[in-house]
Amino acid sequence: MEEQKLQIGGQAVIEGVMMRSKDAYSVAVRRKDGSILVRTKPFMSRSRKSKIFRLPILRGAFVLVESLVLGIKALTFSGEIAAEDEKADGSDKNGADPMPKPKSFWANVWLAVTVGFSFAVGLFIFFYIPLILTDLLGAESGFSFNLVDGLLRLVMFLSYLCLITMMKDVRRVFEYHGAEHKSIFAFEQNAELTPASAKPLSRFHPRCGTSFLLIVMIVSIFVFMFLGKPDTIAERLVRLAFIPVIGGISYELIRLSGLKANSRFWRPFILPGLWLQKLTTKEPDESQLEVAIVALKCALAMDLSDHPDAVREEEAVQMAGAS
């Protein structure tokens, strides 16, 4: 049971939540008409297909890639629903289509290019610019260079989080992030999966992606120290090859955080990540909690009869065909 709880994870999306279990992932999105549209797909981690993918460090690198792919799919789906609802609001239609129209081949290509460009910009801002600034500050030894580089990267990351929390749309996503955590806590504590049961629970979870990113920032300092000071562009680019290693080590630490969350010894190491979640999670309302719970129930193949507003994707497709 403990292992099953560790396999439950999620992500906030646009007006919704994605949840992942060992057998499936589910995205639930609240539409403008009040209904909850749910997409559920089978999912099996590579770690269940081969023993090599279950090796420490290596499994973390693969889980990181899998989570990234699922996250992009979930965000794309929620974005399509939001765009469809906005289009319906701006037209003479009385409501949104039950399902958005499938994207064309070139729309998928454009999405891939956009995602790739976004990653490139992110690497440049949070990876390369700190290196340039550290050079300008005159750090010479490998130890001082990587320490200053890591601290600058951490400061830029925290500044970025502070800035985006001021955006109204991002705050809505952070509210769903809080709903995701509360519903997962309800499942882990064997509580009833209802908004009322989840509402009083904490919105700060030790296995959160925010805590993971903080661990990545800290682990990267120590890993890069072994590489010394990068004097050429080639030596700086070589560091990119160590990102999977950093991700793998960070995964093992975040997994340990979930197992040792109540340990007095480990608690001080977990607290900084929980404090940081004060920026990336906000208190959700019961409507948002319901969306997170619907996503969780679908990922776990549970009954949705208590949620009359929930419409599964296959049912929405039939409605669209009938109309």
Identify the residue with better confidence: 220 or 92. 220
Confidence of residue 91 (pLDDT cuts 50, 70, 90): low
Residues 168/280, Cβ–Cβ less than 8 Å: no
Reading the block at residue 45, the tokens are 């981690």
Contact 299, 40 (CB under 8 A): yes
Residue pointed to by tokens 């064997």: 190
Helix (H, G, I), strand (E, B) or coil at 240: helix
Residue 88 has, within 13 A of its CA and on its CB side, a CA count of 18
State how many domains the chain has.
1
Residue 182 has pLDDT above 60, yes or no: yes
Helices (H), the chain: 2-6, 58-89, 105-123, 129-137, 142-164, 168-188, 195-198, 209-225, 233-238, 243-259, 267-280, 286-299, 313-322
More confident residue, 66 or 180: 180
Residue 320: pLDDT band (50, 70, 90) is: low
The whole domain housing 118 covers 2-322
pLDDT of residue 281: 95
pLDDT at 323: 55
Q: What is the structure's pLDDT at 224?
A: 92
CA distances to 96, 231, 240 from 139, in Å: 57, 12, 21
Do the beta carbons of residue 188 and residue 205 sit within 8 Å? Answer: no
- Given a cut of 90, whether residue 187 has pLDDT beyond it is yes
pLDDT at 6: 59
Higher pLDDT, 321 or 70: 70
- Average pLDDT in the 177-193 region? 94
What is the mean predicted confidence (pLDDT) over 266-285? Answer: 92
For 102, which DSSP code? P
Average pLDDT over residues 86-114: 64
Give the burial class of 220: count Cβ atoms within 10 A of its Cβ; 0-12 exposed, 13-18 middle, 19 or more buried.
buried
How many other CB atoms are found less than 10 A from the CB of residue 120? 10
pLDDT tens for residues 254-274? Answer: 988 888 888 888 888 899 999
- Mean pLDDT to the nearest integer, 186-212: 93
Q: How far are the Cα atoms of 60, 260, 302 from residue 184, in angstroms, in the given order?
A: 21, 17, 14
Distance between CA atoms of 218 and 214, rounded to whole angstroms? 6
Q: Which of 320, 281, 284, 321 minimizes the C-alpha distance to 37?
A: 320
Paired tokens of 12: 């906030």
Quick: pLDDT tens for 1-15. Answer: 455 555 788 999 999
pLDDT band (50, 70, 90) for residue 93: low
Amino acid 291: pLDDT: 96
**Residue 5: Cβ within 10 Å count:** 15
DSSP codes of every residue in 180-211:
HHHHHHHHHTT---SHHHHTTS-S--TT-HHH
pLDDT of residue 31: 93
Its pTM stands at 0.88
Give the distance, in angstroms, between the CA of residue 146 and the centroid of all CA atoms in the same chain: 27
